[in-house]
């Protein structure tokens, strides 16, 4: 039984390794000159391996088709990948938000462990080999590479990833193969991606990081989502952990007008914030308003808040009326932004969309259309929030594919 696995990312590696552990003749085909190129850059190069939360909590972190992953998550859990890596000598640690990282903070250690795992299970690896075409004929899969090489397999696993970070090899080839073989591809969109906004003032605060703020997304008066944590202003808009996570929810509403609000002081209710501003004003009553908020707000944001509050920035504090002060409070609690669009999919961490889950057996990852064709990882129409959840999807679906191929 010859098995071909196309794609040497986390899903393909796990699939190939477990298929090999069942004494199958497995070949892993990778277009790059090394494995796990995208894995290498995850977690800012530290590799956020998985999340340590209870596996039942993972489902609420999956934005698209969480129900499809029930068998996957419970068949190969976060503790299973942790045990596998530790067995291969990778010591792990748990950080904020239950994120799991290697103690060394080196993603290369994770990749080396995966390489040993493949070696121990006799997986043959073909590097620098890009598959150009897949044909299903006489119950066999015939693969043709871009250099003209022809390979024949009894079964194949497509683990080619999505379209985000194409420099790592994720260029959407798998979607073409799957579509040609009769599968439906749900619209491909960026997910976990920075956002562009309409406001011109954004350029003046470029590079400013905010911690412990709340970001909310709205369609008219309906709140779509709210996130608390860190974000950063860029020349085009906003990025950072809470922005990336929110993009996952917003991309389901792109046909509507979306607005965003930043609560710069989420720990302070409006009344307490007003009292705090009053105290600051008492100390700085003879100063201009633009010089009286230094202890409350980052310097770059002060003129923005004052301008959006409709106050002349040269006005002295003792001239500020109660209504104007209340307007400052309102602006600090609801700094408005108008969503324009997402950054290109090339800048997204993961891809939303992909092969329809209706056409894949969730217990085995086998195609319901063509026997012997399996899928795993980002190529499937599933995606989750940041925090190690997307990598766990890759391992869990990879395990089912490799174990059932």
Cβ–Cβ under 8 Å, residues 145 and 127:
no
Cβ–Cβ under 8 Å, residues 38 and 192:
no
pLDDT tens, residue order, the chain (405 aa): 999 999 999 999 999 999 999 999 999 999 999 998 888 777 778 999 999 999 999 999 998 999 999 999 999 999 999 999 999 999 999 998 999 999 999 999 999 999 999 999 999 999 999 999 999 999 999 999 999 999 999 999 999 998 876 666 677 899 999 999 999 999 998 888 999 999 999 999 999 999 999 999 999 899 999 999 999 999 999 999 899 989 988 988 989 999 999 999 999 999 999 999 999 999 988 999 999 999 999 999 999 999 999 999 899 999 999 999 999 999 999 999 999 999 998 888 888 899 999 999 999 999 999 999 999 999 999 999 889 999 999 999 999 999 999
C-alpha to C-alpha distances, 289 to 217, 236, 309, 324, nearest whole angstrom: 30, 28, 12, 11
CATH 2.40.30 fits 195-266+336-342, yes or no: yes
CA distance 373 to 181: 9
Listed in order, the ranges of the chain carrying CATH 1.10.8.50 are 276-332
| Radius of gyration in angstroms for the set of CA atoms belonging to the chain, rounded to a whole number | 25
CB atoms within 10 A of CB 351: 26
pLDDT at 251: 86
Q: What is the pTM of this model?
A: 0.87
Residue showing tokens 């579509």: 179
Listed in order, the ranges of the chain carrying CATH 3.50.50.60 are 2-191+348-404
Q: Can you read off the two tokens belonging to residue 302?
A: 């002060």
The alpha carbon of residue 255 and the mean position of all alpha carbons in its chain are separated, in whole angstroms, by 21
Residue showing tokens 């990025």: 239
CB atoms within 10 A of CB 250: 22
**Cβ-Cβ contacts under 8 Å for 217 (sequence gap 6 or more):** 223, 224, 225, 226, 246, 249, 250, 258, 259, 260, 339
Phi, psi of 193 (to 5 degrees): -140, 145
Listed in order, the ranges of the chain carrying CATH 2.40.30 are 195-266+336-342
CB atoms within 10 A of CB 239: 19
The alpha carbon of residue 126 and the mean position of all alpha carbons in its chain are separated, in whole angstroms, by 28
CATH 3.50.50.60 fits 2-191+348-404, yes or no: yes
CATH topology of domain 276-332: Helicase, Ruva Protein; domain 3 (1.10.8)
Q: Can you read off the two tokens belonging to residue 343?
A: 């950054």
The DSSP code sequence of 157-219 is EE----SSSGGGT-SSHHHHHHHHTT--EEEEEEES--EEES-GGGGGGTT-EEEEEEEEEEE
Consecutive H or E run containing 50: strand 50-51
CA distance 103 to 396: 23
Q: Can you read off the two tokens belonging to residue 291?
A: 């010089």
CA distance 405 to 399: 10
CA distance 76 to 70: 10
């Amino acid at each position: 039984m010859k098995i071909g696995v196309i794609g040497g990312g986390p899903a393909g590696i796990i699939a190939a390794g477990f298929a090999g552990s069942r004494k199958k003749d497995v070949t892993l085909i990778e277009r790059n000159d090394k494995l796990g190129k995208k894995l290498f850059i995850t977690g800012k190069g530290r590799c956020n391996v998985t999340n340590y939360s209870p596996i039942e909590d993972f489902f609420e972190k999956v934005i698209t088709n969480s129900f499809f992953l029930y068998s996957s998550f419970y068949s190969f859990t976060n503790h299973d990948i942790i045990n596998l890596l530790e067995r291969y000598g990778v010591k792990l640690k748990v950080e904020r938000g239950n994120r799991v990282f290697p103690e060394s903070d080196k993603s290369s250690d994770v990749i080396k462990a995966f390489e040993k795992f493949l070696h121990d299970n006799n997986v043959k690896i073909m590097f620098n080999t890009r598959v150009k075409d897949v044909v299903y004929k006489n119950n066999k899969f015939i693969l043709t590479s871009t250099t003209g090489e022809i390979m024949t397999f009894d079964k194949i696993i497509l683990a080619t990833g999505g379209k985000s970070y194409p420099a790592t090899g994720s260029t959407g080839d798998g979607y073409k193969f799957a579509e040609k073989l009769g599968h439906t591809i749900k619209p491909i969109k960026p997910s976990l991606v920075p956002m562009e906004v309409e406001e011109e003032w954004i350029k003046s605060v470029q590079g400013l990081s905010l911690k412990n703020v709340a970001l909310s997304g709205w369609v008219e008066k309906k709140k779509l989502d709210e996130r608390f944590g860190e974000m950063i202003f860029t020349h085009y808009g906003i990025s950072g952990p809470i922005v990336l996570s929110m993009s996952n929810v917003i991309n389901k509403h792109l046909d509507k007008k979306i607005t965003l609000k930043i609560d710069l002081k989420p720990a302070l209710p409006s009344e307490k914030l007003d009292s705090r501003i009053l105290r600051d004003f008492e100390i700085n009553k003879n100063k201009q308003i633009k010089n009286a908020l230094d202890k409350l707000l980052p310097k770059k944001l002060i003129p923005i808040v004052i301008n959006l509050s409709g106050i002349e920035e040269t006005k002295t504090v003792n001239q500020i009326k109660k209504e104007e002060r209340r307007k400052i409070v309102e602006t600090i609690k609801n700094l408005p932004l108008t969503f324009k669009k997402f950054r290109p999919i090339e800048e997204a961490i993961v891809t939303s969309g992909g092969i329809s889950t209706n056409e894949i057996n969730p217990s085995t990852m086998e195609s319901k259309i063509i026997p012997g064709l399996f899928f795993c990882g980002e190529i499937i129409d599933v995606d989750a929030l940041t925090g190690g959840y997307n990598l766990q999807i890759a391992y869990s679906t990879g395990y089912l594919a490799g174990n059932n191929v």
